[in-house]
Amino acid sequence: RVQEGKFREDLFHRLNVIRVHLPPLRERREDIPRLARHFLQVAARELGVEAKLLHPETEAALTRLAWPGNVRQLENTCRWLTVMAAGQEVLIQDLPGELFESTVAESTSQMQPDSWATLLAQWADRALRSGHQNLLSEAQPELERTLLTTALR
């Protein structure tokens, strides 16, 4: 970035004393539940309220998200949940919809607009936002029916 003129060289050399490589959150998904619990506790302490707990399915959903904003986005989401989640336990439907939009956008960006995978991802996004939790059990019979009907034509 220094060579491209996007970062001041003098500042780079001042900050470049010790190099620390920290991979993005999407490359260390196993850290997400622990970080989320930490950020929920910090936010609760700052606001003087009881810390929210993550439902296991919500925790799993958080680990599948894209997190383009990295750890700061996770932290801000936890602050938001501390204020906005209805109950003491954070459910999937409590998560802000834009989290799923960025994940669907990222996962479908490589796909053709009319591909079945794109349509499936869009369906799953809508289902998750409306609180559905057992997507596989809902989708599997429909997928089997569609495949059988097509094969028998």
One-letter amino acid at 121 equals A
Judge whether 39 lies within some domain.
yes
- Which residues, other chains included, contact 45 with Cβ-Cβ below 8 Å and sequence gap of 6+? 51
Write down the pLDDT at residue 62.
95
Write down the pLDDT at residue 108.
46
Q: With beta carbons less than 8 A apart as the criterion, state whether 37 and 55 touch.
A: no
Write down the pLDDT at residue 73.
96
Domain coverage including residue 147:
24-152
Judge whether 13 lies within some domain.
no
- Rounded Cα–Cα distance for residues 72 and 149 (Å): 47
- Residue count of the chain: 153
Mean pLDDT of successive 10-residue stretches along the chain, which has 153 residues: 86 84 92 98 97 96 92 96 95 89 53 63 75 79 77 78
CATH number at residue 37: 1.10.8.60
Judge whether 138 lies within some domain.
yes
- Rounded Cα–Cα distance for residues 146 and 79 (Å): 43
Which among 33, 30, 36, 99 is positioned nearest to 66, based on CA atoms? 99
- Rounded Cα–Cα distance for residues 143 and 100 (Å): 23
pTM recorded for the entire structure: 0.60
